[in-house]
Structure 1
Amino acid sequence: MRLSKLYGKMCLAPLFLGIITVSSTVLGQPPQPKVGGVGTFDGGGANDNPGRRRLTTLTPVPEDFSALQLAPGFLISMEVYDAPELSTDARIDTHGDITLPMIGPVHVAGQTMTEAATAIETRLKDGKILNNPQVNLNISQYAGSNVSVLGEVHNPGRIELLAPHSLEDIIALAGGETELAGNTIEIRHPEGLTPQKQMIHYSRDPDDMTLVDTKIHPGDTVTVRRAGVVYVLGGVTRPGGYVMQEGGELNLTQALALAYGTTLNAAVSSMRLIRKLPDGRVQETPLPYRDIEKGKIPPPRLQAEDLIYVPISKSKTVLTSGIFASTSQAALYVYH
């Protein structure tokens, strides 16, 4: 008799367990997760439990987010461990402060999130609100700041910037320099900063670290200036203006080489350099081209807007025109 009663209880146990499981499901209580079951990441199998909490997808953050400094307009989300009544969202006002419950205003502008969290923890501890506060800050919204890049770059415009970057990175984000870019870059800082205007001179030498060492801050304006132009006129094969592309430096022989050299009727002994002085006056300097050509003296370095004038010799013109005329007649004679 005892054995039959025990057997009956054993048969009814699975039924009661099934009822309890169904009841817990109906009441909205999720079953306990199974070891080795389907994970909770997005993109799981089709048999995932919809009641199970799923992790959100990863979203990219700007590369300069780690060096971000808080600024007015940012919306800060604060969580205090084991004190949910102190957790709140606060926006940084125009003075750079956030107002927190039981603490009051805390100045956080110009600080990183770690520094701001430390300052809030110190206020909580000094105010005897919490003995060992642990504050976690996150940025819900940030006030984007831009850098304007103008001048000789492939993609001029405004670049969104959260933290300081090197000048080399800013130029790269603007598509790089054009062929007409010089070796001078002007940087204008926002009002209130000193200096207001900064001029950067660099060379295209790979060992020159000027662009890397120069920092650009949000709100700055970067202007890549065009290289200077040197004009070569008169008795040259291709007269015109030539950009000083080689690091912004150009000498006399290089400028003549860009103009494809002098012509046969050029009076190179009367070559002159015409330069406009800062006070507006024009200075004319004779150039001893024969001595420069023989290597007796170095070629003079040119400046932007310099003009090299190579006069044309009348006697050489008559002589060369006669040679060309006889040559053309001979060519015609042989041709016929």
Structure 2
Amino acid sequence: MILGFRTWLWAGLGMALLSSLAQAQTTTSSSANYTIGAGDEVRITVYGQPELTAEGQVSAAGMVVVPLIGNLSIAGKTSADAAYLIADRYQQGNFLKNAQVNLLITKYRSQVVAILGKVNNPGKLVLEGPTSLTQALASAGGIAANGSERLILTRAGKNGRPERTEYDLQKLLNYDADEIAPVWLRDGDTLYVPNAGRFYINGEVHAPGMFPLDRPLNVRQALSAGGGPTARASENSVKIFRQQPDGSVKELKAKPDDRVMDGDVLVVKESLF
């Protein structure tokens, strides 16, 4: 039942995410942030000057050939900034007055991210414009049945060292929360979906057994996965048996909001009254 639910859930999420992808690709403010890189193909047009229309691929050195100007470095610039630079060169070189230039990226090839781990279609993804973390996950076929909803994003920091950030998929998909901003991917990012953990519930619950820990859960949520406490249960006497780094097992008195960890055993004791 759990696997079937996850399959149904990802089918629905896939449609929602692909829909949001189409919307995001047309968002001007986001698209304006894409920076041109080597391998991208561009089309340059000048208003009123059709003979100056040109198409080309950005070279490994970040250059593109512009009519009348020659090789011009546009790597690292947005489309708008590159168009402004070309217009300025036309005017500074006395080729045109009040040049109005448009630069369109026709093929995105320079920015690539890796999607690894427990997804249905792991591999590399070329960023064809602004792409959020959830959109990239949808393009990889969603999380596999044994994958976690705890997402790990690794990217180069300001000092060049990799920085690792964890995200909760459910929070990222909470479209009703305006404070949850999309996580936009960058060239060189690695998105990793780890294997789902597991926890165990024993004692006075309706459905004891092993359950996947595929997203952050507290004790209250974990007990609901086991069908909830029985009428004989003492909800104030829930114990957690947690393995320690040295291999020993520690017994903890659980509170409803305590977070469940991978490998935890939750025991719900019977009420004495």
CA pair 275-91 structure 1, distance change in 2 beyond 3 A:
same
Alignment CA distance shift 1:286-1:212 (3 Å): closer
- Aligned residue in 1 for 2:60: 94
What residue is the counterpart of 2:183 in the other structure?
Answer: 214
Q: What TM-score results when the alignment is normalised by the length of structure 1? A: 0.53
Q: 1:149 aligns with which of 104, 111, 115?
A: 115
TM-score (normalised: structure 2): 0.62
Question: 1:285 & 1:96 partners in 2: Cα distance?
Answer: 60
SS of 1:164's equivalent in the other structure is coil
Matches of 1:161 and 1:138 in 2, distance apart? 15
Cα RMSD, aligned residues only: 4.6
**Counterpart among 222, 226, 244 of residue 258 in structure 1:** 226
Give yes or no for the alignment of 1:229 onto 2:195.
Answer: no
Q: Is contact 1:76–1:141 with CA below 8 Å preserved after alignment? A: yes
From 145, 150, 156, the counterpart of 1:184: 150
Aligned residues: 238
Distance 2:97 2:209 in 1: 78
**1:74 match:** 40
Aligned in 2, Cα 1:305/1:211: closer, same or farther, shift over 3 Å?
Answer: farther
Cα pair 1:166 1:211 within 8 Å, conserved: no
Question: What is the CA distance between 1:98 and its match in structure 2?
Answer: 2.4
SS of aligned partner of 1:130: coil
Which residues of structure 2 form unaligned runs of 5+? Answer: 1-21
Deviation at 1:257, TM superposition (A): 6.8
Q: How far apart are residue 185 of structure 1 and its match?
A: 0.7
Q: For the structure 1 residues 271 and 71, does the alpha-carbon distance in structure 2 shift closer, same or farther, using more than 3 Å as the test?
A: closer
Deviation at 1:235, TM superposition (A): 9.5
Higher strand share: 2
Kindly indicate whether residue 69 of structure 2 is the aligned counterpart of residue 103 of structure 1.
Answer: yes
Higher gyration radius (CA): 1
